[in-house]
Amino acid sequence: MMKGETPREPLEGWKLTEKVFDARYARKYESIFCQGNGYMGVRAATEETYPSTRRGTLIAGTFDRIEEKHSTELPVSADVMAVDITLDGAALSQSSFESYERVLNLQNGLLTRRFLWRSANACLSATFERFVSLKDRHVLGQRITLHMLEGSGTINIETGISGSNRPGIVHFQNAETLVDGTVLQYAETTVESGIDFVTSAIISAHVLGVDTHKLTALSRVLEGEGVMNAYSVTLRANETLVVEKLARIATTRDNDFDAPPEGHSFRYALMDRECVLMTSLWATGFNEALAASIRQWARIWETRDVQITEATGFDQLALRFAVYHLTIMAPLHDSRMNIAAKGLTGPGYLGHTFWDTETYILPYFVWCDPKGARSLLHNRYLFMDAAHRKAQENGYEGAMYPWQTAWLSDTDTSVNPRMSACEHHITADVAYGVQYYYQVTGDLDFMLRFGCEILFETAKFWCSRLQYSTQNKRYELLHIMGPDEYHISDNNAYTNYLAYWNLRCATEWAKELCAHYPKDYAVLCQRLGVDAQVSVWEERAAALYLPQVNQAGILPQDDTFLSLPQIDLAPYKQGTRSIRADYDKSALLKLQVAKQADVAALFLLLEDLFPMDVKKRNIYYYEEHCVHESSLSLCTYSLLASDIDEQDSAYAFYQKACRIDLGNKMDSSDEGIHAASLGGIWQCVVLGFIGVRARNDMLCICPKLPARWKRVTTRIFWQGQPLTISAEQTGFCVKALEGDTLPKLLTPSGLHEAPGVSYRETY
Ligand code: BGC
């Protein structure tokens, strides 16, 4: 802490608080307070259910589809957080709450709800705590503490594993329950994909007070609907009822499940294993299971926390919220899986993956968790077969990545055929992610084993996708959709430039391998025919049409956008009215209105291709014509505003982006949080305000802090080396850790070849 700064209470900057419960807004809180660990996501649906509640525990990569006409989606698995509680016969509900508060502690992942609950003869304080373990991905826990403050009352609790009350399509069949000693188990199988899910739990209930004792459960098995323990007790003043539940969720798709010998049932093998693991988890106890998770969160924050010193505390909280969700959304334990557009926090986009991963989320992992980034990119490598098939099905060559993906074998999971048929930029975005990863990490092993193949196969795709215009004597990309999903047109600048970049990047890598890694190159040449392709890539890239700025200095988004009529967007820019309320898809197609950053997204990815004055003029122009209907847009404009030294705008866009999930639009996150935007928020701070970049094999740092910020400190990995950067209004400091020396640095004052252990620059 600097002299003159006011000390803060320890949890300030870490606590997300709900002060008043209003069931109408339950879904938003269920999403933003969601807990998880990349394997599972547990929406923060309250123990009691309201008509607006959308309960949901989602397990990464367990897709299912019940009918041809539906798209594959993540099924909602059995629920261990739903509990029925009554006090003197009255069920717990919103009307029982007094002095309500619910807090998600981002520092340790614990969700706590407290309130006072009165009946005619009793007043008790109720505390509900839950966690999803970051240490053991199968584990979750819930503790209910009811302390009688005045009078006495009878409490009835039914708690266990519930298979009923699940929203949406029912994806399970053959439900089965089991009570084995203290272990409750519920098993079921997804309809099409045949994945067995096994949920296990052990519950205890104790009365603490003068007469401390354990309650005996009347076990009730509800076939098909779940398995519950029921407890009943009359609590007197100063007595406390504590109900603890530890649970495990596992599936036969898990990469830590060993298939049993042939002829044995997968389900029973898993149930047996889980019964044993559940018993030993219980033996370690609730407190230790929670403590192990908290220790793991502490490890995460040690390297991932970005500390912002500014007066309101909001910017800090919003960034930690982003990092919290980036941590729980990523299934890094299994490279067969990728990050969904809503993480594991809700049903939106059915749990599918988009370009959001490479363009908005991957940079966070590349700079903070290179191993995690590698797993995400390896996932794209595993998609290669499907990408080849997709190319073939569409008459192209090489690897064509599907716009929206779930299973590794899917060539199309899109619910919207318009996007999947035309939004081809995803293929270049994946390639871009590969090269971005390499530039920051220097992971040559990845490139030689997987990365180059992705670059080569995507380059082949673009060659086959380009059309030669004899009239214009150039290659073009016709009938294509860029990031702006309102328009399908010819020569979308974003896509043309990214395709060009993809061809060039593949060419450079082929030459690099040929010159320096001839053995690896020979293998790839033999398998993929790279040598015969290189000259084609070069020729196509040279003849590919790259839209140029017009006389007014504007880079056309596509061949028609700039000639379309303009309308006043003011009513839609305030965020209170959606443009969709007044214009349908076909009307939007004919207007000069962009759904989201498009040319701006091009400047984000290929920032060095365009001079500053071009970027400036175009950023203003296109922002004016953009309604930011996609959550990917505001963070893009914040990053670009930082790039063109417009700090006030950069900060204003950053704040707006933070409010997509954390603002007072109470239905904004009903279907889940906005994963890409959260990755974008992290980028706004570290790449935008601190100005971190990889440029020509050099680490570049050029901070441009918002005027309200005093200081920001972060940890990054550069070529595998951890570094700490601390930036202030008047300068910055970079430090190597663990006795290392700093790499070559490029800063506003120039190039520093050997800056030593720590480097400080003052302006
Ligand atoms: C955006 C896409 C994005 C998708 C998933 C859409 O609304 O237009 O760019 O990939 O949401 O987040």
Amino acid at 448: L
Residue from 88, 98, 144 nearest 121 by CA:
88
If DSSP codes are grouped into helix, strand and coil, which group holds residue 146? Answer: strand
Domains and CATH numbers, the chain: 15-300 (2.70.98.40)
**Position in ligand 1 atom list of the atom nearest CA 629:** 7
Evaluate: CB of 632 within 6 angstroms of ligand 1.
yes
Task: Give the C-alpha separation, 665 to 662, whole Å.
Answer: 8
Evaluate: CB of 403 within 6 angstroms of ligand 1.
no
Amino acid at 266: F
Evaluate: CB of 341 within 6 angstroms of ligand 1.
yes
Task: Measure 356 CA to ligand 1 centroid, in angstroms.
Answer: 7
Cβ 214 vs Cβ 241: under 8 Å: no
* pLDDT at 11 (0 to 100): 62
Q: What does the DSSP 8-state code read for residue 624?
A: H
Residues 473-501: tens digit of each pLDDT: 999 999 999 999 999 999 999 999 999 99
Mean pLDDT along residues 469-475: 98
pLDDT at 29 over 50: yes
Whether the model clears a pTM of 0.85, i.e. scores above it, the answer is yes
Cβ 152 vs Cβ 235: under 8 Å: yes
Task: Give the C-alpha separation, 736 to 15, whole Å.
Answer: 31
pLDDT at 317 over 80: yes
**Position in ligand 1 atom list of the atom nearest CA 356:** 10
Share of the chain above pLDDT 70, in %: 99
**Position in ligand 1 atom list of the atom nearest CA 675:** 12
Q: Is 671 a residue of the active site?
A: no
* pLDDT at 5 (0 to 100): 45
Amino acid at 621: Y
Task: Measure 519 CA to ligand 1 centroid, in angstroms.
Answer: 41
pLDDT band at 220 (very low <50, low <70, confident <90, very high): confident
Evaluate: CB of 486 within 6 angstroms of ligand 1.
no
Measure CA 535 to chain center: 39
Evaluate: CB of 426 within 6 angstroms of ligand 1.
no
Task: Measure 676 CA to ligand 1 centroid, in angstroms.
Answer: 9
Which segment of 324-328, 359-363, 383-387, 575-579 scores lowest on mean pLDDT?
Answer: 575-579
Compute, in degrees rounded to 10, the torsion defined by CA atoms 161, 165, 170, 175. Answer: 30
Beta bridge partners, 219, equal: 229
Task: Measure 194 CA to ligand 1 centroid, in angstroms.
Answer: 30
Task: Give the C-alpha separation, 625 to 567, whole Å.
Answer: 9
Which residue in the block uniquely carries the two structure tokens 């389900």?
A: 267
Evaluate: CB of 359 within 6 angstroms of ligand 1.
no
Here the tokens at position 644 are: 């063109």
Mean pLDDT of the chain: 95
Task: Give the C-alpha separation, 289 to 494, whole Å.
Answer: 48
